[in-house]
């Protein structure tokens, strides 16, 4: 049997999906995953916008300020691989929601911190939440689009980090200047929590798995045993 006929047979064998689980649903997945990436970097970089205020209010030195920023990068470097492996097994959508909820709540924790120690702990949790988001997020995005779009979408997704950094410092600075540094953290955290709620209500493992199977069939990938994990993620993506 020819490869196109194999792909057609595989596609016809798939369960019927809701109309939303098609191209429009794929773009919704991309939009929300990209928006959460913006929130990721906004939560990471808002600290830079409020450094002068923190330094003056808490009498912090440069070493302490550096620790508040560096602990996030340290957690990302240490935990990116193990948490990505865990997400592949536990479920990528659930993992993304949990990660985004953690860094958003931790950013809210920064807003209510009363000491350097509390702020450091909150920033540590921000780093844990953000550690594997980039790798898991891009895996979700490319898995629901055909091959000819994957490089472009990967580039667009990666660029979100730069945009998020600029937004985090810009909006954080504006909020801090008008309402204080605590409201700067709270505003960025609120944006993330709203996105988490939208993601939870609209993106599911089941619908994502069905869309991944349709994309695989359209790409001419014949299904083979063991390709799809129990968590609904494509093991080869």
CA distance 11 to 162: 38
User: Do 215 and 144 contact (CB within 8 A), yes or no?
Assistant: yes
Structure tokens at 150: 């994957």
pLDDT, tens only, 76-87: 999 999 999 999
Asked if residue 90 is part of any domain, the answer here is yes
Rounded to 5 degrees, φ, ψ at 130 are: -85, -10
| Residue-wise pLDDT tens digits, 152-173 | 999 999 999 999 999 999 999 9
CA distance to 80, 138, 167, per residue, from 141 (Å): 18, 5, 22
pLDDT at 144: 87
Q: What is the pTM of this model?
A: 0.81
- 21-54: pLDDT as tens digits: 568 889 999 999 999 999 999 999 999 999 999 9
Residue 234 lies in a domain: no
Q: Over 60: is that where the pLDDT of 101 sits? A: yes
Q: Give the CA diameter of the chain.
A: 74
- In angstroms, the CA 133 to CA 126 distance is 11
pLDDT exceeds 90 at position 67: yes
Residue 86 lies in a domain: yes
Q: How far is CA 86 from CA 13, 63, 99, 115, 157, in A?
A: 30, 33, 12, 33, 22
**Percent with pLDDT over 90 in the chain:** 69
Phi, psi angle pair for 229, to nearest 5°? -75, 165
CA dist 37 and 35 (Å) reads 5
For the cut 70, the answer to whether the pLDDT of residue 218 exceeds it is: no
Q: Residue 9 pLDDT more than 60?
A: no
Counted domains in the chain: 1
Domain assignment present for residue 229? The answer is no
Please check whether residue 223 lies inside any domain of the structure. no
Determine the Cα–Cα distance for residues 237 and 231; give it in Å rounded to an integer: 14
Answer whether residue 230 is part of any domain: no
Q: Please provide the average confidence, as pLDDT, over all residues in the chain.
A: 85
Domain that holds residue 128: 23-216
The domain that contains 145 carries what CATH number? 1.20.1250.20
For residues 65-69, average pLDDT: 93
Q: Which residues pair with 234 in a beta bridge?
A: 228
Within-domain flag for 226: no
Q: Are 80 and 120 in contact (CB under 8 A)?
A: no
Residue 125 in domain? yes
Q: How confident is the model at residue 143 (pLDDT cuts 50, 70, 90)?
A: confident
């Amino acid at each position: 049997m020819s490869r196109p006929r194999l792909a057609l047979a595989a596609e016809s064998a798939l369960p019927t999906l809701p109309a939303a689980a098609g191209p429009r649903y794929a773009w919704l997945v991309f939009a929300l995953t990209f928006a959460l990436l913006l929130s990721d970097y906004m939560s990471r970089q808002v600290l830079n916008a409020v450094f002068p205020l923190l330094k003056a209010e808490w009498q912090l030195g440069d070493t302490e300020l550096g620790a508040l920023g560096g602990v996030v990068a340290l957690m990302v470097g240490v935990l990116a691989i193990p948490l990505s492996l865990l997400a592949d097994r536990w479920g990528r959508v659930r993992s993304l929601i949990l990660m985004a909820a953690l860094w958003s709540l931790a950013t809210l924790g920064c807003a209510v911190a009363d000491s350097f120690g509390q702020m450091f702990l909150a920033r540590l949790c921000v780093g844990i939440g953000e550690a594997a988001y980039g790798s898991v997020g891009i895996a979700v995005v490319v898995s629901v689009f055909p091959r000819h779009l994957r490089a472009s979408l990967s580039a667009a997704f990666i660029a979100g980090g730069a945009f998020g950094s600029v937004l985090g410092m810009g909006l954080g600075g504006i909020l801090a200047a008008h309402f204080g540094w605590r409201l700067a953290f709270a505003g960025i955290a609120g944006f993330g929590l709203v996105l988490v709620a939208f993601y939870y209500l609209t993106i599911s493992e089941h619908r994502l798995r069905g869309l991944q199977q349709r994309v695989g069939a359209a790409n001419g990938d014949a299904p083979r045993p063991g390709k799809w994990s129990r968590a609904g993620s494509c093991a080869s993506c």
